[in-house]
Amino acid sequence: MTPQPPPPKADNGQAGRTGPTSPAEHGSGLQAGLKNRHLSMIAIGGVIGAGLFVGSSSGIATAGPGILLSYALVGTLVVLVMRMLGEMSAANPTSGSFSAHADRALGSWAGFSIGWLYWFFWVVVLAVEATAGAAILSSWVPAVPQWGWALIVMIVLTATNLISVGSYGEFEFWFAGIKVVAISIFIVIGLLAVFGVLPGVHADKAGLGNLTDHGGFLPHGLSAIFTGVLLVVFSFMGSEIATLAAGESEDPQRAVTKATNSIIWRIGVFYLGSVFVVVTLLPWNDKAIAEKGSYVAALDSLGIAHAGEIMKFIVLTSVLSCLNSGLYTASRMAFSLGERGDAPKAFARTNSRGVPMAAILSSVVFGFVAVFFNYRFPDSVFLFLVNSSGAVALFVWLVICFSQLRLRRIIQSEAPEKLIVKMWLYPYLTWAAAFLIILVFGYMLTDTEHDGRETVLLSMLVAVIVLAVAFIKQRVEGGRAKATEPAAAEAEKVSAG
């Protein structure tokens, strides 16, 4: 099914801008090289980041078994945001996703700002994940220095993305597949052990009693739930990738609809399910969780041989998956920005295989620079980059909320048949989600123990700078448009005469 042409853009003072388009239909250069199986696995794997395996231990230590409520709260928020994004993307599939929707719904300043902030987030993630992957590979093959492994990983995945979108999809299919299989096996084995029916295993510490026997379900009080939210919220970033990738699929509307409808069970199974297994296999205050990491400690408690190495392999797979998707996502956002005139025009050019080479290479260059900063200035420049991009996920989600509020009315008035996916209880749940995001921002400003305040303030600083550039650009373009109006009117008179 070929997507319908998007309805005319609302008048937001953007006359003369190139509107976001559906790549598969409007010949922007991108090709529909992602198959349905690629999109399905990208959607499933997109919610399983390395942060789930690595960061859950600090959340458990902070909130105890109550961390399940933190994950449930953030999971509910992500489900609502993805529903809103699904509504907009099903109506107008585009490589720019929420940035293109914000451009149309709120104005060019919004699309410009959130697009560049999102790009900034992912190129910093490239450095973080390349360093994490290099550390694991270096522990296995110490003959190659850690920086060498980071370089190798970046080069290999850059080459993958440069070949074709299909090669990205194929790599991600297998990376995500390994993650999904591994975490599914972990959940099944863990639940069997918790209920005492796993053959040959005596899990002495396992049991549902771990949820309440060690200081109660909320050993650190109700406020720990919100502190836990701050620790786990950023591990959910990536669920929106499926809507960006849908623009290069054979059937964008079907892909977006499927990804949106399946988000509930994906979060329920992979996040809540796996964390539930961890906090029932072991007491939340078991020292092994902090020392080894939650998932390694859980596997060790079952007597599974080489649990640490098994988890290293799974984390490495997640890291490579995140790197692969991060490079793809950053480049497609850069492509969309170039297509709309918010980035150099070269970013919107593609080669004969439909690959936006300039957009990919520019993202990689920044990623390489960030990797250099990580090794040369880890406690100053790189720390600033990480903290100043840390709250971008919340910015993106908030912009999606406000874009959906505006765009829903536009679609209803211009092309109601395009509302294939609809946000539940519109507009009430949209406003509730926006309020919850603002609440998280406010709570982060009170958090000094986990650097929440610093992350928000630095991220806001970068956001203000990007917004200032957006408004200056908009004013300059408006001035140029006014300057050309008399000449255009004169030319029209001459033509008419």
- Give residue-wise pLDDT tens across range 457-480: 999 999 999 999 999 988 888 777
CB 67 within 8 A of CB 228: yes
What is the pLDDT at residue 311? Answer: 86
Mean pLDDT throughout 399-411?
A: 95
User: Between 32 and 349, where is the model more confident?
Assistant: 349
Residue 101 to residue 107: CA distance in whole angstroms: 9
pLDDT at 401: 96
Q: Which residue, chain included where needed, has tokens 């796996």? A: 274
Is the distance from CB of 386 to CB of 127 less than 8 angstroms? no
CB 310 within 8 A of CB 304: yes
Question: How confident is residue 490, by pLDDT bands cut at 50, 70 and 90?
Answer: low
**Region 201-219 average pLDDT:** 87
CA distance 149 to 141: 9
Q: Are 232 and 55 in contact (CB under 8 A)?
A: yes
Query: Mean pLDDT across the stretch 65-72?
Result: 94
- Does residue 445 contact residue 232 with C-beta atoms inside 8 Å? no
Q: What is the structure's pLDDT at 81?
A: 93
- The half-sphere exposure of 358 on its side-chain side, counting CA atoms within 13 A, is 16
What's the whole-model pTM score? 0.87
Beta bridge partners of 34: 249
pLDDT at 491: 59
Report the alpha-carbon angle 471-17-13, nearest 5: 55
pLDDT value of residue 486: 64
Cα(282)–Cα(274) distance, integer angstroms: 13
Is residue 22 scored above 90 in pLDDT? Answer: no
Q: In the predicted model, what is the mean pLDDT of residues 407-431?
A: 93
Number of Cβ atoms within 10 Å of the Cβ of 392: 23
Q: What is the structure's pLDDT at 383? A: 84
In the numeric block, which tokens belong to residue 28? 């922007």
Q: Which residue has the tokens 């907009």?
A: 88
Percent of the chain scored above 90 by pLDDT? 37
Confidence of residue 18 (pLDDT cuts 50, 70, 90): very low
Arithmetic mean of pLDDT, 127-144: 90
Q: Which residue has the tokens 């399983």?
A: 48
Q: Which of 474, 137, 118 is nearest to 315 (CA)?
A: 137
Per DSSP, 268 falls in state: I
Instruction: Kindly indicate the confidence band of residue 14, based on its pLDDT and cuts at 50, 70 and 90.
Output: very low
Q: What is the pLDDT of residue 347?
A: 93
Cβ contacts of 326 within 8 Å, gap of 6 or more: 122, 123, 125, 126, 129
Give the pLDDT of residue 104.
Answer: 92
**Is 162 or 200 the better-scoring residue by pLDDT?**
162
pLDDT tens readout for residues 427-446: 999 999 999 999 999 988 98
Statement: residue 361 has pLDDT above 90: yes
CA 479 to chain centre: 36
In the block, which residue shows the tokens 């920086």?
147
Specify the residue for token string 């650009």. Answer: 473
Alpha helices in 340-378 (DSSP H): 357-376
In order, the DSSP letters of 297-339 are: HHHHHTT-TTHHHHHHHHHHHHHHHHHHHHHHHHHHHHHHHHH
Compute the average pLDDT of residues 3-20: 43
pLDDT of residue 336: 92
Report the C-alpha gap between 255 and 240 in whole angstroms: 12
Mean pLDDT throughout 79-100? 90
Question: In whole angstroms, what is the distance from residue 281 CA to residue 295 CA?
Answer: 10
Handedness of CA 373, 379, 384, 387 (dihedral sign): positive
Quote the pLDDT of residue 210.
92
Calculate mean pLDDT across residues 480-492: 63
Which tens digit of pLDDT belongs to each residue from 288-304?
898 888 888 998 888 88
pLDDT at 254: 82
| Cα gap 257→338, rounded to integer Å | 27
- Rounded CA gap, 108 and 104, in Å? 7
Residue 67 has pLDDT above 90, yes or no: yes
pLDDT at 85 over 60: yes
Distances (CA, A) of 314 to 176, 237, 375, 476: 10, 19, 24, 50
**Residue 160 to residues 163, 168, 256, 325: CA-CA distances in angstroms?**
6, 6, 24, 11
Name the percent of the chain lying above pLDDT 70: 89
Mean pLDDT value across the chain? 85
> In this structure, are residues 282 and 208 in contact, taking their beta carbons and an 8 Å threshold?
no
Measure the CA–CA gap between 38 and 103, rounded to whole angstroms.
Answer: 28
DSSP conformational letter for 272 = I
Min mean pLDDT across 22-31, 57-66, 169-178, 436-445 is at 22-31
Residue 3 pLDDT? 40
CA distance readout (Å), 404 to 426, 428, 495: 9, 12, 43
Domains recognised in the chain with CATH numbers: 23-477 (1.20.1740.10)
Q: What is the pLDDT of residue 48?
A: 76
Better pLDDT: 7 or 74: 74
Least confident window among 102-106, 151-155, 378-382: 378-382
Closest CA to 247 of 142, 92, 102: 92
* Cis preceding linkage at 5, omega within 30: no
The tokens 């679609």 sit on which residue? Answer: 411
Q: What is the CA radius of gyration of the chain?
A: 23
16 has pLDDT over 80 = no
